[in-house]
Amino acid sequence: MDGFSGLLHGFGVALTWYHVMLMVIGVLLGILVGVLPGLGAPNGVSLLLPLTFTMDPVSAIILLTSMYWGALFGGSTTSILFNIPGEPSSVATTFDGYPMAQNGRATEALSFAFLSAGFGAIVGVLLITALSGWVTQFALKFSSPEFFGVYFLAFASFVGLSGAPPLKAAVSIALGFSLAGVGMDSVSGSLRLTFGFDVLLAGISFLVAVIGLFGIGELILTIEDGLKLDGIRAKITPRDVLRTAAQMPKHWATLLRSSIVGCWMGITPGGPTAASFMSYGLAKRFSAYRANFGKGEPDGVIAPETADHSAGTSAMLPMMALGLPGSATAAVMLGGLMIWGLNPGPMLFVERPDFVWGLIASMYLGNVVAVVLVLATVPLFASILRIPFAIIGPLIVVVCFIGAYTIAGRPFDLWLALAFGVLGYVFKKLDYPIAPLILAMVIGDKAEDAFRQSMIMSKGSLTIFWSNPLVTGLMLLGLVLLFWPLLGTLRQRLRPSRV
């Protein structure tokens, strides 16, 4: 069974009152865990997992995936309102979402985020539906050199864009790389940078860094600026949501480009976080309003959100067809699949079409349910900003620390979050960009593993990165993007001389 007929069959499975109810419950729970920084989708899904042991696998996966969609949406809410990413993949949303909210355009930012996220998700599912057979074949072409190519591409499309002096960006990246290297190194099987401290064995959680750098760092800055005792005055009406929706078609280019980036990263699988960074970088590069990026440009919200969600949804395909999780949440669900008695792999499509197509159909429905639910919450969430800082500030501190603790239940993470908060403050004061550090922390160790695996395979020869058309193409594209800013300045220098 493939494509269209499979999908129709799937809708038959997914479209029951019981399943729609599960979707609504899942999405609402997901929004809740998404809004709380640190708790996040992987933790939320593993908390729910024991409940699904007695359920039918189709119902179980519908509940868990709906929670995942909800969490992805919820994660963007706090990014925009408080500059605290609820999910690692919504870090890039803070860059323009938060400035927009600060300028009193919170409703607009939230609506843009949710609508484009919904768009991205639907593109992701469409891709799965149409190309399920072909896509899995494509994913099999990826080995370590190709993975390195993908990560290199993500780095290349993002660095040199922050507007900060290149040297400062380099410092930030280097720091991110070293933080990512802490703990057990899977290629050599040895411990690195733990200095004999047992608490560092498990490495430094990227989520703790995000909570500290963004949430706490931002609070310290706000306090220094002088306590603004009242919130942002902004008129919020449900009609704003509709007005924003009407503007969406204008951003078609960004939507399309970001969906492609997202699907690509979801399938290969590079992960939603890398996808959102890369998409933001590309949107900025190709935008006519480059100077507005970072100050509240709608495209800066649309790009990461679209990519994030199309990556999140399309990552379900390698999970089912190859047993290869594209994100941390997918890894938890993979465990669920095995407990429910299913074997992920190419045969899942043949043996359990009801499960596979039921899930795919539920992804359409679940995302539609999620968009409707989150859009309904926009006025509510946007009005949170009206609450005076004196009340909301301490609340954010509490939520941040609870979030940092829930990641792994380690008291040490609380100190780490505080330290990262100070670091975030220092970075802002000295004008160092934070984003490259985050990017290096997220994909730095994966890029390193892929590079070293490639080196083992080729016995140390760099030619492995030019050994087939796929990896060569990736590397070339990466190099072009890396040197694009340089080309830009060259052109600018040449132009006056011609006049």
Partner 1 sequence: MARKLGIALGFLAAGMAGAAAQGWQPTKPVEFVVTSSPGGGTDNFTRMIQSIILKYKLIDQPIVVSNKGGGSGAEGYLVSKTAAGDPNKVIFGTNNAYLLPYVAKLGYKFSDLTPVAALALDEFLLWVKADAPYKTAKDYIEAVKAKPETYKMGGSQSKDTDQTLTSILSTVTGAKFIYVPFQGGGAVGTQLAGGHINSHTNNPNESIGQWKAGQVRPLCVFSPARLPAGPKVTETQGWADIPTCKEAGIPVERFQMPRTVWLPAGTPAGAVQFYEGVLKKVSETPEWKEYIARTVQTGQFLSGDSLKAFVANDDKLSREVFEREGWIVK
The distance of closest approach from Cβ of residue 356 to partner 1 in the complex, given in angstroms and rounded to an integer, is: 13
Q: Is 198 in the site for partner 1 (CB under 8 A)?
A: yes
Nearer to partner 1, 45 or 110 (CB): 45
Q: In this chain, which of 17, 167, 188, 469 binds partner 1, going by CB under 8 A?
A: 188
Buried-state track 452-482, b at ≥16 Cβ within 10 A, e below 16: bbbbeeeeeeeebbebeeebeebbeebeebb
- Binding marks (x or -) toward partner 1, 433..452, rule CB under 8 A? ----------------x---
Stretch in the footprint of partner 1 (CB under 8 A) among 149-157, 183-191, 274-282, 385-393: 183-191
SS3 56: coil
d(Cα 415, Cα 419) in Å, to the nearest integer? 6
At 25, list the tokens: 């419950």
**Smallest distance from partner 1 to CB 166, Å:** 32
Under rule CB under 8 A, residue 24 binds partner 1: no
Tokens representing 457?
Answer: 């395979």
Beta carbon nearer to partner 1, 294 or 403: 403
Backbone phi and psi for residue 127, each to the nearest 5 degrees, phi listed first: -60, -45
Name the helix (H) or strand (E) containing 382. Answer: helix 353-383
Assign 190 to helix, strand or coil.
strand
The DSSP symbol for 237 reads -
470 binds partner 1 (CB under 8 A): no
3-state secondary structure of 338: helix
271 binds partner 1 (CB under 8 A): no
202 counts as binding partner 1 under rule CB under 8 A: yes
Q: How many Å apart are CA 349 and CA 178, to the nearest integer?
A: 41
Q: Which is nearer to partner 1, 186 or 247 (by Cβ)? A: 186
Binding residues among 320-359 for partner 1 as defined by CB under 8 A: 322-325, 328, 331-335, 338-339, 341, 343-348
Nearest residue (CB) to partner 1, 126 versus 202: 202
- The answer to whether the beta carbons of residues 158 and 303 sit under 8 Å apart is no
Task: Report in angstroms how near the CB of residue 417 gets to partner 1 at its nearest.
Answer: 17
457, 470, 477, 482: which one binds partner 1 (CB under 8 A): 457
Toward partner 1, which CB reaches closer, 295 or 449?
Answer: 449
> Which one, of 270, 372, 334, 353, lies nearest residue 64 by Cα?
334
* Nearest residue to 181 (alpha-carbon basis) of 449, 450, 410: 449
* Residue 66 beta carbon to partner 1: minimum distance, rounded to whole angstroms: 14
CB 353 within 8 A of CB 9: yes
**Which lies closer to partner 1 via its Cβ, residue 226 or residue 341?**
341
Cα separation, 313 vs 360, in Å, equals 9
- The H or E element spanning position 191 is strand 190-192
* Residue spans of alpha helices (H) in 49-105: 57-82, 91-102
- What is the smallest separation between the CB atom of 52 and partner 1, expressed in angstroms? 9
In the set 14, 23, 35, 48, which binds partner 1 (CB under 8 A)? 48
Cis peptide before 272 (omega within 30 of 0): no
Question: What residues from 124 to 153 belong to the interface with partner 1 (CB under 8 A)?
Answer: 139-144
Binding site residues, partner 1, CB under 8 A:
29, 42, 46-51, 53, 139-144, 183-191, 196, 198, 201-203, 322-325, 328, 331-335, 338-339, 341, 343-348, 408-409, 449, 453, 456-457, 459
